């Protein structure tokens, strides 16, 4: 049973609360079952990293199609930073990311990730703020999180809502010159439900 979020909690606890909400295996099975034409069955994994990795709270993440769990199409490492009025999530890419495929489900692979195999993705951090019983996140302002897709330079627009049991996200790539959408869902956000929680793995911090 999950414990509801309470607005009476101290702001200093928001970082840990957000981390515990994020930690898990999320699946949009229900959405894909009801509308398979427009939504593939996807898992989003956020697996906590040991405290020593960042001297704080961090995650390894994977996004992967359910039919091919060993071939993630997106991988990353993330560091949560308390900015008092919001939580800033630094994003890192992985060098030779294929070496770490499956790390979200296999602790032996997870242990092979270290600081030497990641590189910061500047301007691609996420800003999360609490809104009652959920957290809302958006890419940091400036339209500078650039992603090349099919020869076109785009900037990322990402909107996220996370609770203890759900993850709702909409990622879109917008043309840097015309601001027209080039990639991403045109049918609305992906809606995930937490199938397994890793909240107990989130390191305790003072």
Domain layout of the chain by residue ranges: 11-201
> Domain 11-201 is of which CATH architecture?
Beta Barrel (2.40)
CA pair distance 111, 202, nearest whole angstrom: 15
The phi and psi torsions of 124 (rounded to 5 degrees) equal -115, 15
3-state SS class at 33: helix
Q: What pLDDT sits at residue 204? A: 84
The CA-based dihedral angle spanning residues 147, 121, 72, 180, taken in that order and rounded to the nearest 10 degrees: -20
CA pair distance 62, 67, nearest whole angstrom: 14
pLDDT by 10s per residue, the chain, length 206: 444 444 434 555 899 999 999 999 999 999 999 999 999 999 999 999 999 999 999 999 999 999 999 999 999 999 999 999 999 999 999 999 999 999 999 999 999 999 999 999 999 999 999 999 899 999 999 999 999 998 999 999 999 999 999 999 999 999 999 999 999 989 999 999 999 999 999 998 76
């Amino acid at each position: 049973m999950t414990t509801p979020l309470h607005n009476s909690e101290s702001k200093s606890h928001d970082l840990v609360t957000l981390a515990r909400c994020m930690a898990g295996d999320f699946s949009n099975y229900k959405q894909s079952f009801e509308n398979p034409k427009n939504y593939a069955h996807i898992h989003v994994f956020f697996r906590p990293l040991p405290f020593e990795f960042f001297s704080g709270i961090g995650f390894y993440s994977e996004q992967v199609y359910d039919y091919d769990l060993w071939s993630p199409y997106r991988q990353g490492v993330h560091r949560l930073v308390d900015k008092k009025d919001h939580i800033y999530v630094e994003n890192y890419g992985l060098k030779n990311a294929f070496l770490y495929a499956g790390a979200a489900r296999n602790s032996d692979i997870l242990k092979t990730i270290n600081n030497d195999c990641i590189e910061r993705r500047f301007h691609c951090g996420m800003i999360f703020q609490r809104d009652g019983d959920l957290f809302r996140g958006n890419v940091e302002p400036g339209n500078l999180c650039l992603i090349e897709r099919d020869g076109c330079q785009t900037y990322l627009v990402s909107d996220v809502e996370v609770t203890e049991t759900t993850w709702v996200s909409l990622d879109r790539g917008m043309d840097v010159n015309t601001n027209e959408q080039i990639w991403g869902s045109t049918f609305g956000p992906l809606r995930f439900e937490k199938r397994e929680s890793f909240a107990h793995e989130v390191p305790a911090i003072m």
